[in-house]
Amino acid sequence: MARTVTAEGIVKKRGRRVTAQQVAPYVFVSPFVVSFLVFLVYPLYQAFLLSFQQLIPFTQYADWVGLDNYRRVVADPMFRIALWNVARYAFWTCVILIPVPMLLAFIVNSKMTRFKNLLRSMYFIPVLTSTVIAGIVFQHMFSSEPTGAFNELLGIFGIAPVRWLMQGNTAMFALVIIAVWRWLGVNMIYFLAGLNNIPTEIYESAEVDGATGLKKFWHITMPMLKPITIFVLTISITAGFSMFNEAFVYWGVMSPNNIGLTIVIMIYRAAFQLNDFGYAATLGVSLFVIVLVANLIQLKFMGLFREE
């Protein structure tokens, strides 16, 4: 018996074929979606839920306390000190780690610069170094003793030794220095990637019109690097407010007069020293909201939400 092929059968086959093609992209992105849900959304949901509870240590029982933990955060003077510390740290790291890497990337990418690959490697090496090892080295360099590297440098100019890690302003300087040393090369690589996507014809047209290197940098490079700048600024703000490693290797969880206290250190102390997991979760949710608001403000300022 001859097989009858109807128009309806053809439509169904074509429909199944189109459906398979539509499903294929979702199959490829599913590992990312699953990872995002499991490792970000679910922990955030659990932290938000735990922030309204008071967990009884070493048990599975928890008391619902409502907004009491959030009232504790608002009234906690240590939280205000930690917030002020990380806000200053984020500000200074953004001030340095945005324009300086951009300028260095422009110089390294210049046709007149030699040994470009060597320079890229030299700037990128610090990020491969362990934060703990780097922190120990910088801790000795910032030693209050006259034999400390920075105090020896000051001694050349006849300046008395400074207690770097015992005072607020010098402690912040020490934190920013290690951050700049570690992340300068990474940000430069980001900007180099952006520079490589700028068409050379734009620079050539500017040179024909008599534009100098500074004018090309100001009127061409900076506007074309705006997406990269927004990205680097976003991750810098996030890293600044969530800073932990640098302060921990300098002082541990206790610093003199809380000059190295950060919100993440407060979370660590609340969870693993005081077993107050509800308050630790509240601090984590508060940090998430602060970082989110700070980034939304900078995105608004950078014109990301502006209609072209």
Distance CA 27, CA 47 (A): 29
Cα end-to-end distance, the chain, whole Å: 65
Give CB contacts under 8 A, 24+ apart, made by 112-120: 120/185, 120/188, 120/189, 120/192
Name which of 274, 277, 250, 275 is nearest 262 in CA terms: 250
Report how far apart, in Å, the C-alpha atoms of 214 and of each of 116, 192, 221, 229, 301 are.
20, 17, 10, 18, 25
pLDDT, position 6 = 54
For the chain, 308 residues long, the average pLDDT of each consecutive 10-residue run is 50 52 82 90 90 77 86 94 95 93 85 77 83 88 88 89 90 93 91 87 81 79 88 93 91 90 94 90 94 92 70
For residue 108 the two structure tokens come to 């390294």
pLDDT, position 1 = 46
pLDDT, position 11 = 45
pLDDT, position 201 = 84
